[in-house]
Amino acid sequence: MIVNSLRLGQLDVPDDKIIFMEKPVLGFEHLAKFCLVEAQDLFPFMWLISSEDPAVSFLVVNPRVFFPDYRIEVNPKEIAELNIADTRTVETYVIVTIPDNPQDISINLQGPILINTENNRAKQLVLVNSSYQVRHHIMELANAEIAREERQLREPVGV
């Protein structure tokens, strides 16, 4: 299938790689078909691109890249429509928001997108009883990690 994207141009995506959204991305309920595209220059980020509207694409990332302890509790009824036989076939992504100020880049941990890689069925969940927020600023995490590493470098080395 040829997928046109304003962001990446024309893409030739195998039909078996088209993802069908059982529950669409909030605000984009009219779009059900997407493809996930790796961009080497953006690793670990990927593009979730609409095959129905060339203007719609989302930058996504596996939330565990930034939050290794990220866990979600999902009601079995909530994911039944994804026909999951083995939970190891489910990939989780979150949408990245890039505002004008790069220091404000955030990820939406409250609205993960689950993709069953066996049948390419997907849905966006809305976690209601969760401590996760719509905006988790990832540059704050990066800056905290840099500060931690700098402190370690200044600590005297034991003999």
Look up the CATH number of the domain holding residue 29: 2.30.290.10
CB 76 within 8 A of CB 82: no
Between 58-62, 86-90, 110-114, the lowest mean confidence (pLDDT) is in 86-90
Q: Which of 109, 110, 119 is nearest to 21 (CA)?
A: 119
Domain count, the chain: 1
CB 33 within 8 A of CB 80: no
Residue 7 inside a domain? The answer is yes
Residue 159 inside a domain? The answer is no
pLDDT above 80 for 70: yes
Host domain of residue 89:
2-154
What are the residues whose beta carbons fall under 8 Å from the beta carbon of 137, sequence distance 6 or more? 103, 104, 105, 106
The pTM of the full predicted model, rounded to 2 decimals, is: 0.84
pLDDT above 80 for 8: yes
CB 105 within 8 A of CB 140: no
CB 72 within 8 A of CB 112: yes
